[in-house]
Amino acid sequence: MDIATLGGQLLGQIPLGDIVLYLTPFNLFMFAGALIFTTLIAISRTETQVEAEFGSLNDNEVKVGLKEFKIRRFLAVVCGLATAGAMITGDVFNFTLLVALIGIVNIGIVSAVKQIDVLNAAFQYGLIAMIASLPLFGGAAIILASTGTLSILEIAQLSFTTPMMFFASVLLLLGIAGETGIAPFYATKAEMFRTPGSPFILIIHLSSLLVIVRAIEILLIINKPF
């Protein structure tokens, strides 16, 4: 499938040797979205969380120490930048690495929390992320083995698709689902959003939404179903 069919017209390329970034309106929109949200995280101050108490009219304030808060905000900013990078990369290789980075940083954001329930959920999520690195890297490796290249611009110009490429795409999708924690692996993430100081933790949500949209674009380019 042509890149221009999916993402609008091809606005330009940034060639850095073998690594070629390409810009389409579709990519640029998501790139800018990720960057804007990252900037909001970097300047916001959300140390205090106000919870309504059950059975009374009082409010309950939960505070986070500044030291713990700084680490988590830094990791959230890294997560935002990795998401932005995954939006405009023109390389299955770089896309894989950035998704793996998002997975690690997501574990890091919640592991600084000092509550047993949250640590339990973070542990389960971490196990899923580790297991998911098998289909993620394995899928990328099989794409490399069956097409001979990892550059999306090159793959888009291939005239054939093989069953191996389809298998690799399914593996890649499984890996991305596990690393960013979308639908079947979603349950452990709910506990993480209940932690104090959590508003910027929504970057975990934003990254998984943007990455899955971009992953579907890449998989359509690889498999050329229409």
Partner 1 sequence: MIVPEVVPTITVSLFLPALYVALIVGFIALLGISFQKKDVHALILTDIVGVAMLIIVAAVGTDLAEALILPGLVVELAEIMAISEILMSREMRKTGKKVSFMPMPIKMDMEILKTAPNFLSLVLIVYGIFLTGFTGGAVAGVGILFYALARKSRGLPFQLWEGVSGISGVAWCIWLAGFLILFVAPEIWLLGLLMSSFGILLKVASKMGLIGVLGREEFKRN
Our finding on whether 186 is near partner 1 (CB under 8 A) is no
Our finding on whether 127 is near partner 1 (CB under 8 A) is yes
Position among 80, 90, 126, 181 found at the interface with partner 1 (CB under 8 A): 126
Please identify, using beta-carbon distances, which residue of 122 and 219 lies nearer to partner 1.
122
Our finding on whether 145 is near partner 1 (CB under 8 A) is yes
Query: Which three-class secondary structure string do you get for 10-64?
Result: CCEEEEECCEEEEECHHHHHHHHHHHHHHHHHHHCCCCEEEEECCCCCCEEEEEC
Position among 1, 6, 10, 19 found at the interface with partner 1 (CB under 8 A): 19
How far from 177 is each of 120, 124, 172, 182, 215, CA to CA, in Å?
20, 15, 9, 5, 10
Q: Which residues face 151 on adjacent strands?
A: 91
Our finding on whether 216 is near partner 1 (CB under 8 A) is no
Q: Smallest distance from the beta carbon of 117 to partner 1, in angstroms?
A: 10
Our finding on whether 17 is near partner 1 (CB under 8 A) is yes
Picking from 205, 169, 218, the residue whose alpha carbon sits closest to that of residue 3 is 218
What distance, in Å, lies between the first and last C-alpha atoms of the chain? 7
Our finding on whether 34 is near partner 1 (CB under 8 A) is no
Backbone angles phi, psi at 23, to 5 degrees: -115, 125
Position among 22, 31, 37, 93 found at the interface with partner 1 (CB under 8 A): 93
Our finding on whether 188 is near partner 1 (CB under 8 A) is no
State the Cα–Cα distance between residues 208 and 153, nearest whole angstrom.
24
- Binding interface with partner 1 (CB under 8 A): 16-17, 19, 93, 96-97, 100, 103-104, 107-108, 111, 114, 116, 119-120, 122-123, 126-127, 129-131, 133-134, 136-138, 140-142, 144-148, 150
